[in-house]
Structure 1
């Protein structure tokens, strides 16, 4: 099992808190968002040498914080499908993929890794649809579509998923198709999920995404990281 952390974005909406550094380097207690994620991935059983980070904006500041750095020089022109496509070009393993602006505990990762299904998207039941990415499922709980255009499902994608080695060639091909525009990797998942089923795993574990200043302050309070 390998892990990919997508950390190419700038985090403009956090303004005075980022001050010329990537959002993932914001402090959470004695760690940064990124170093905390790297530590929790290791606690969940993923070896340090198997953790890869895709950087873009001020990627030079990430080098001393990550085991393996992949650089996306087009971070300001393309969305995360391009970053993920870069990371997957030379990988052939089961992979856990997550964004670099998340806060959670190790039990959330363990819940995902211990689930026997090969391809899994994690979600939370939520009525908060602002800025959210929704998941559409069938009666059996399999994903039929995912994207920001699906905002009325009550299932909010939490930007963490697991994909099996056998699915990666098709996913990589779909990303290569998508990444020529400013697109999100969720479009590629929608394209392949009929042939390669993805299960929706609803979690009740503690989790928070950091997009805005209020998100950052709420995260610090929720996790006791001040």
Structure 2
């Protein structure tokens, strides 16, 4: 199985920590986020040569912590285009299915265990335990399948939050990559790959994999970072 890690972002809300490094290089317990994510992937049997990192901001700093066999894809437009472009760039590099991590996610190893235990090929990891707020990337689940993913979903109508970890089969992966390209070509460069995915949900069958209450967090700002460092002690991150 291939692994894609999206790590092109600046992390402007974490300045000045990110003045000389990408958000993916912020340290938790003395280790950069992306380095720990790769360690967890290797423990699950993913090979270094099957890992693709999309970098952009301060890419030379990022390069220093990547194992030699990891493939680094450059997003030169990281400052003007959102992660829809990072996923679109996979078109020339990856024709298989893959697991994807957003590089700013800290997660208990048990969450990956849940992902690997799930045999269904097309899944998003969803926190269906904790309360939702307006800024979360929320999902609607009907009859066991995800029918909507967006930050615009009313929290009262959502069944959980997508945590930034997914797995797609080859066919689904290529459909999502191609739709991201279509968005970029249409000038929709400030969107998320989740927006591209949302437009495809009527024709796809995507299931949720629950976090089952295991700890995780996305790091967007200093409040998130403080929480990440707090839970890192509990999950041996």
- 1:157 maps onto 2:162 in alignment: yes
Distance 2:196 2:62 in 1: 27
Distance 1:73 1:92 in 2: 22
SS in 2 for 1:169: helix
Residue in 2 that maps onto 1:33: 33
Distance 1:20 1:151 in 2: 37
Residue in 2 that maps onto 1:211: 220
> Deviation of residue 169 (structure 1)?
2.7
Any residues of structure 2 matched to 1:100-179 within 5 Å, and which?
A: 100-125=103-128, 126-138=130-142, 140-152=143-155, 153-179=158-184
SS in 1 for 2:15: helix
- Which stretches of structure 1, 4 residues or longer, exceed 4 Å deviation after superposition? none
Distance 1:172 1:53 in 2: 15
> Deviation of residue 97 (structure 1)?
0.6
Any residues of structure 2 matched to 1:10-89 within 5 Å, and which?
A: 10-66=10-66, 67-89=70-92
TM-score, with structure 1 as normaliser: 0.93
- Which consecutive unaligned segments of at least 5 residues does structure 2 have? none
- Which consecutive unaligned segments of at least 5 residues does structure 1 have? none
TM-score, with structure 2 as normaliser: 0.89
**Bigger Cα displacement from structure 2, 67-76 vs 174-183:** 174-183
Say how many residue pairs are matched: 225
> Deviation of residue 206 (structure 1)?
1.7
Offset from partner CA, 1:47-100 (integer Å, 9 cap, x none): 111111111111111112222211001111111111011124331222001111
Specify which of 94, 119, 125 is matched with residue 91 of structure 1. Answer: 94
Distance 2:34 2:226 in 1: 17
Computed over aligned residues only, the root mean square deviation of the Cα atoms, in angstroms, reads 1.6
Distance 2:56 2:96 in 1: 24
Distance 1:150 1:88 in 2: 29
